[in-house]
Chains A and B, each alone.
Chain A
Amino acid sequence: DAKTTQPTSMDCAEGRAANLPCNHSTISGNEYVYWYRQIHSQGPQYIIHGLKNNETNEMASLIITEDRKSSTLILPHATLRDTAVYYCIVLSIQGAQKLVFGQGTRLTINP
């Protein structure tokens, strides 16, 4: 079972920042927080990951709380192409650890 809790759906206006929350209260010390998204029926796409520090790349920012029990994915200027299901996954870096997908958050960007 997935170790994370996410809202089922969210809406955001085009051009605004989309903030997607995730709770992972049982995360252990060697587990990272990963975010993936799935646009329609395409393969999941890696977005970003982090351990305890905030992270930023060309796609998004990841804010992890100090206690690591929750995180927020931020898409700073959402576009219509960001409409997708977003998955928050906790994962140990050791070995061939499988990704366990939950239901994710269905993010709809509105014009």
Chain B
Amino acid sequence: EPEVTQTPSHQVTQMGQEVILRCVPISNHLYFYWYRQILGQKVEFLVSFYNNEISEKSEIFDDQFSVERPDGSNFTLKIRSTKLEDSAMYFCASSEIGYYGYTFGSGTRLTVV
């Protein structure tokens, strides 16, 4: 069964450093998403991406965040200057057009120290 692959599974970074979280969506999917989940809290939407541009973003997705699909297969989330409160699980997801279910990756646990 096709999978969404995320790397790394765990990343520890110093506050103020830049991090890039990587995702390989399912190959024939057209919509891509990032979500995050702070420990013990709900899964929160960050951003959706379609046709090489952001289609929607949440209030969380401020100027410190950016997304990119650099080579047609990878989908990355960059946090420019990490804060302690960015510590969370970050999930990438992709979907086909229409009403098919989204497929999530297994997540990257980001710890900012």
Residues on A close to B: CB < 8 A? 32, 34, 36, 38, 41-46, 49, 87, 93, 95-96, 98-103
Contacts and interface: CB of A to CB of B under 8 A. Distances in A.
Interface of B: 4, 31, 33, 35, 37, 42-45, 48-50, 55-56, 58, 89, 91, 93, 95, 98-99, 101-107, 109
Given A49-B99, A93-B99, A43 B45 contact: no
Contacts, number: 59
Contacts of B109: 41
Nearest to A44: B104
A96 B43 contact: no
B45 A99 contact: yes
B42 A101 contact: yes
A96 B102 CA distance: 10
B43 A38 contact: yes
Contacts of B101: 34, 36, 46, 49
Contacts of A93: 98-99
Nearest to A38: B43
